Amino acid sequence: MQQRSLARNGIYKAILNIFNLLIPLIVTPYITGLLEPNLYGAYNRIFSEFNIFLTLGTFGIYNYGVREISKVRDNPIEKSKLFSSLFSIGIISNFIMTFIYVLFFTFRANKPIEVYLYLVMIIQIVGNIFYIEFVNEANEDYGFITKKTIIVRIIYLVSIFVFVRKPSDILPYSIIISSTILINNLASYFHIKKHISFNFQHLQIVRHLYPLIVTLLLSNVEILYTQLDKIMLSPFINDIAVTEYVLPTSLVGTIAAVPLALINVAIPRLSSFIGQGNKSEYTRVLNKTINNYMLMVIPMGFGMAALAQEIMQFFSKGVYANAFPVLIVSGMARVVFGYQSIIMNLIMYINSLEKQLTTLMLVFGIVNLGFNFGLVGLGLFSPFTALVTTVIAVLLFVIVGYIYTRKKLQLNYKLLSKEIIGYIVVSLTFFPISWVIRGLSLGLWPTIIIVMIICSGIYGLYLLVTKDTFVLDILNKVKLKLKRD
């Protein structure tokens, strides 16, 4: 298989994530301002509970599939056998979780609307069976992924404005969300089936169970972080508190998905280097990926934190404006979560350190659980404090994971290079800048636009003055393209 350009893959992935960013910019203010807060809070609480079953149904197949198919993507026979085995396992795991999920909400639902919301979520479990995008990821087929997802998201956007018109329309909203996921996964399934065939005569179910169970455990312990916060907020506070946590963190997560493209597209390439035993090239690409990712995520996260008040005012039409402190923490914490993703996906998981990774995630997940109950006991539990303690737990994971992997794998990689420190220092200037502009009382949009222009200009100037390698690479590629033309 011809190796696709890592830069081109990153561009495709970035285009997709930018598009996925624009959709929430349009939909989120409309939904949060329209839907009745208690109904929207109930939806967020039910989805948080359902997400546990969805994660278990996925059974770790996605991450495991990307890694394993990347190793055999040039061998059609082995790829077909592996794909067929993982697809079969997915059918079984999702069927089992559907049965358990139905039993769960039979006892959990208290109102008719809650029963309907729980039932609608089953559409996503059906879609989960066809969640085989890992094949496209392993094949680095980001062109198809981008085009397909853009079309599906446009259908989603139109459906929201056509069918969600009243404060009570939480059920149509839920149906659209779940149906969009099903359509997206089915589109990938039929595309993949054009290039890879099933081979049910040589299924290897047992062979994959142990590594999948390890990956499943990893997925489970991740629940002890932000997912745990969401689940605990409803019984200890109320459903609206769930929304006050979900809205800011989801918003930051959506925007952070743009630079996250660099991590996602690097997984197959780094897995390939490991399979070839090319440690030097693996280390070089790893360090470059870390720097380039932080170059983008740091100003994005800090910028959102600096404009948290204005952003929450706009995205919730004032309904959840008081949740801006959660957005401040979430924006700055994106750096910590980014490091967590790097250590998990680019280092430990693809180097087959699943056991150690699971252990570390479990230990610090329990630490986070202890923090939450401590806050409850002190009467300090809230969306803000829940997120703060989660960030502390994740930071502890990053520190221990970094020390362990450098020693265990003998890797010379850096999480805090001089370039990254520079990105942080310059991005910290966004806070006094936003404070000064906000003090001029120019209004919501003038404040946002002026702060963005000034901060972007300062950051861009810094990259040019310091001759950052990422910028130089882009400029050199543009020059080469112009010469060819």
Mean pLDDT of the 237-243 span: 89
Residue 334, pLDDT > 50, answer: yes
Query: Can you tell me whether residue 53 is helix, strand or coil?
Result: helix
- 272 neighbors 313 (Cβ within 8 angstroms): no
Quote the tokens at residue 381: 């539990």
CA atoms within 13 A on the CB side of 125: 25
- Digit-coded pLDDT (tens) for 164-173: 999 999 999 9
Chain mean pLDDT for the chain: 85
Cβ neighbours of residue 458 under 8 Å, at least 6 residues apart? 426, 429, 433
Residue 4, pLDDT > 70, answer: no
Concatenated DSSP letters of 207-262: HHHHHHHHHHHHHHHHIIIIIHHHHHHHHHT-HHHHHHHHHHHHHHHHHHHHHHHH
Phi and psi (nearest 5°) for 122? -60, -30
Cβ neighbours of residue 397 under 8 Å, at least 6 residues apart? 340, 343, 360, 361, 364
Rounded alpha-carbon distances, angstroms, from residue 4 to 275, 342, 429: 17, 22, 38
Q: What end-to-end distance do the CA atoms of the chain give, in Å?
A: 28
Residue-level pLDDT at 485: 55
- Digit-coded pLDDT (tens) for 68-90: 877 777 777 878 888 888 888 88
Residue 299, pLDDT > 90, answer: yes
Residue-level pLDDT at 2: 44
- pTM of the prediction? 0.77
Distance CA 297, CA 423 (A): 10
Most confident region among 4-8, 86-90, 419-423 by mean pLDDT: 419-423
pLDDT tier, 404 (very low <50, low <70, confident <90, very high otherwise): very high
- 120 neighbors 175 (Cβ within 8 angstroms): yes
pLDDT tier, 1 (very low <50, low <70, confident <90, very high otherwise): very low
